[in-house]
Structure 1
Amino acid sequence: MKSLKFYASILMLLVTVTVFSQNEKDQKIISDAEKAKNKLINTDEGLKDFFSNSSGYVIFPNVGEGALIIGGASGNGAVYENGTLVGMASLKKVDVGLQAGGQEITEVIFFETEDALNEFKQGEYKFTAEASAIAVEKGAAKNANYSDGVIVFTKPKKGLMADLSIGGQKFNYKPIHK
């Protein structure tokens, strides 16, 4: 009986540590997303309007990308609705083509309407090869427009990548329960 209690205690400890570390991981992503938001706005003040006027957005502060013919990328982000944190998201990307290198980027996706945001929040959201991102630089947001209720901006952080490929991005959403 003592050994059963011992193993039950160990199991509870492991569950507690796992939940706590997951929250720590999410907190780091949220903190990095807020820092990334400030850096994006400092680079292009026009992004303030997107952050203020969109129904929602997701910031992936640290997306790692690498390729040699076949490429991939992944990252985790924070999802905001009307400026309020509502969930966490993950990004996975696979592509093929003329590409080589590796880089780390920040990616932010803005949703023009509540319907577009809700489609993302339903989970299993995908961008096809036709979707394109706008590089964040001074003045880039000024003439940028939504396409089907969505617009994507990216900002390279470090590394170098040559890329002429096709593929797609897949996203998953997990709401935050308060």
Structure 2
Amino acid sequence: MTRRWKAALLLPVLWCMVALPVMAGWNPHEEDRAGQTVERFRKTDPTLGRFFDQAYGYAVFPDIYKGGILLLGGARGKGYVYEQGRLVGRSSVTQVNVGPQLGGQSFAEIIFFRSKADLDKFKNGNYELSAQLSAIAVTAGMATNTDYSDGVAVFAMPKSGLMAEASVGGQKFSFEPY
């Protein structure tokens, strides 16, 4: 592998190291950010209320940072998991994309779990969302015509940045109970 290719593959990793916030442990204000994210989603699309009311649980990721260059990219974020409206743990998301891409962005994401069994699969750790299951971009009224797929519904809200891509990748999650 040439030096140029090695440098190109290393660039997204270095970008993530610089762009992601450094955490020195538990931060009580992070939980507040999860609540603020839920309110922002509810305000943007009030029809999401049916998911919050009917889902057995959900995971909230206030900030997921994504970047890519050439044929490789990735994303990383931390979030909180709720069961029956009660905070039960923390989660992290990691994503690797392969395909043409360039840029960086941040976004928020909420994953709703229809049943206890669906949430339990997530809480068992090493949960993955396939590349075929894509997040619905939240806009007013979008949730009206959206339903669960394999027990989950995923909604994302762009926050900042610009990224062009035609890539394939999936998200992998970890879970740490409180």
Q: Please list the CA deviations of residues 112-171 of structure 1 after superposition, one character each: whole Å capped at 9, or x if unmatched.
A: 011000000000001121111100000110010100100100000001111211111110
For 1:80, the equivalent position in structure 2 comes to: 82
For 1:57, the equivalent position in structure 2 comes to: 58
For 1:96, the equivalent position in structure 2 comes to: 98
The separation in 2 between residues aligned to 1:96 and 1:169, in whole angstroms, is 13
Q: Which amino acid aligns with 2:171?
A: Q
Radius of gyration: which is bigger?
1
Aligned 1:24-43 pairs, distance under 5 A = 24=27, 27-43=28-44
1:62 Cα deviation (Å)? 0.5
Q: What's the TM-score once normalised by structure 1's chain length? A: 0.84
Residue 40 of structure 2 aligns to a residue whose secondary structure is helix
Residue 85 of structure 1 aligns to a residue whose secondary structure is strand
Residue 110 of structure 1 aligns to a residue whose secondary structure is strand
For 1:106, the equivalent position in structure 2 comes to: 108
Residue 133 of structure 2 aligns to a residue whose secondary structure is coil
The one of 117, 120, 124 equivalent to 1:118 is: 120
For 2:168, the equivalent position in structure 1 comes to: 166
Q: Is 1:45 paired with 2:46?
A: yes
For 2:20, the equivalent position in structure 1 comes to: none
Contact 1:60 1:76 in 2 (8 A): yes
Report the number of matched residues.
Answer: 154
Q: Is 1:23 paired with 2:23?
A: no
The separation in 1 between residues aligned to 2:30 and 2:92, in whole angstroms, is 11
Q: Which amino acid aligns with 1:116?
A: D
Aligned 1:60-71 pairs, distance under 5 A = 60-68=61-69, 69-71=71-73
Q: Which amino acid aligns with 1:161?
A: M
The one of 131, 134, 154 equivalent to 2:156 is: 154
Q: What's the TM-score once normalised by structure 2's chain length? A: 0.84
